[in-house]
Structure 1
């Protein structure tokens, strides 16, 4: 099992507010924005304001200020609802797109929740390849790829009885290529705890073939990324 040192990983990538930044490419990626999750929770009876649009926009603006990317990828599950996009969701989406496009190129990658995306915008793709990296949502298997960046599974890790959204990094674990699994960008998503996850426990068919114990969590503490040992080592001392 290969573990990558924190300094080496942070020279290659930036991790901030659920965003991944590939330094050499000026490429920023977030996944699972789930615009409209607050609306769904409200319909289910959670009747207090969640300020979803303001929260998402503040996060995007902070990421743009920190990294100044040239390309920003929204990696699937941009919308939360499978079958409807309300006017409020369309307005939030338009506001976010305008803020991003004012600063950089924007790429939309379709996810499993994005059946309505073509009716809102015609510019979505199933994958995005750039400089040896392949960005896909992760809900389907993919062939002929570079270093993979995927979402879909919403990983989170429990540390001292607190749950933290986390990235997962695996060196050479997918046909000899690296993989990075993104946390859910929407802070209303609680995440799925991965402390004891095995490959078969993941939703993504890509991750089901991976040795989960070889994946290294990356968590953010007070705005700074902390690279943890591989999951197998964390389990050993839990």
Structure 2
């Protein structure tokens, strides 16, 4: 199977600030927001300000300005902590929701970290389907789906000793359907390098049966998306 061209991919989708946008559906998705990650780092002994809430809201606002979506999906691991949601995290979450809901419909898909989310937010779902696209977090298998949009694995690619969060695109790699793997939206998450990853190396069971070498990374350079060759080709020239 030939790699998809950059022109073809970017004509259908937008990639910006960790957000994935399906143009024909006016659907925007981010994954792994991990609200409260800065608080967890403080508890581990990191004592300089990280400005997590301000950074997240600024990123959301720039995405809304760029794409003007009808629907915005937060695709799992919205909270960082499994077992508690502090007052600060709840307040940050409320302000983020208010920012998004002022502009569009918001859908909350639960992830592996989100045991507390239903009690805080209500109205959460395990998956979201729209126009042939299926958004799930990726921590569980899923049947009967459209083009899959998942998170969970926080992919990043290493180029010349620098690490870049990346999307991974696979054409017809899951039951004949396309696949998009999302990077972590929270910039405090460094990502997991996937240059040499095999299917079994990923956390998501969905990716265990995918030929990882066929996945094409998409990275952002100076605000514009760049589609790289499949991982198998990158490995040959590394």
- TM-score, length basis structure 1: 1.00
Report SS of the residue matched to 2:112. coil
In structure 1, C-alpha distance between the alignment counterparts of 2:55 and 2:207, rounded to whole Å:
30
Q: Write out per-residue CA displacement over residues 72-93 of structure 1, whole angstroms, 9 at most, x where no aligned residue.
A: 0000000000000000000000
Report SS of the residue matched to 2:153. coil
Report SS of the residue matched to 1:125. coil
TM superposition shift of 1:121:
1.0
Q: Assess if the C-alpha contact under 8 Å between 1:195 and 1:235 holds in 2.
A: yes
Q: Assess if the C-alpha contact under 8 Å between 1:137 and 1:150 holds in 2.
A: yes
Q: Are residue 213 (structure 1) and residue 177 (structure 2) matched?
A: no
In structure 2, C-alpha distance between the alignment counterparts of 1:15 and 1:80, rounded to whole Å:
23
Q: Assess if the C-alpha contact under 8 Å between 1:33 and 1:79 holds in 2.
A: yes
Q: Assess if the C-alpha contact under 8 Å between 1:2 and 1:171 holds in 2.
A: no
TM superposition shift of 1:119:
1.2
2:194 aligned partner: 194
- Which ranges in structure 2 are unaligned for 5 or more consecutive residues? none
- Which ranges in structure 1 are unaligned for 5 or more consecutive residues? none
Corresponding pairs, count: 238
TM superposition shift of 1:35:
0.1
1:182 aligned partner: 182
In structure 1, C-alpha distance between the alignment counterparts of 2:96 and 2:72, rounded to whole Å:
12
1:64 aligned partner: 64
Report SS of the residue matched to 2:89. helix
TM superposition shift of 1:118:
1.1
2:30 aligned partner: 30
Post-superposition, which runs of at least 4 consecutive aligned residues in structure 1 deviate over 6 A? none
In structure 1, C-alpha distance between the alignment counterparts of 2:24 and 2:166, rounded to whole Å:
22
In structure 2, C-alpha distance between the alignment counterparts of 1:186 and 1:207, rounded to whole Å:
22
TM superposition shift of 1:27:
0.2
2:226 aligned partner: 226
Q: Are residue 96 (structure 1) and residue 125 (structure 2) matched?
A: no
In structure 2, C-alpha distance between the alignment counterparts of 1:112 and 1:2, rounded to whole Å:
34
Report SS of the residue matched to 1:219. strand
Report SS of the residue matched to 1:49. coil
In structure 1, C-alpha distance between the alignment counterparts of 2:91 and 2:5, rounded to whole Å:
42
Report SS of the residue matched to 1:185. coil
TM superposition shift of 1:184:
0.1
2:114 aligned partner: 114
In structure 1, C-alpha distance between the alignment counterparts of 2:2 and 2:191, rounded to whole Å:
26
TM superposition shift of 1:2:
3.2
1:6 aligned partner: 6
RMSD: 0.4
2:41 aligned partner: 41
In structure 2, C-alpha distance between the alignment counterparts of 1:155 and 1:144, rounded to whole Å:
25
Q: Write out per-residue CA displacement over residues 89-145 of structure 1, whole angstroms, 9 at most, x where no aligned residue.
A: 000000000000000000000000000001101110000000000000000000000
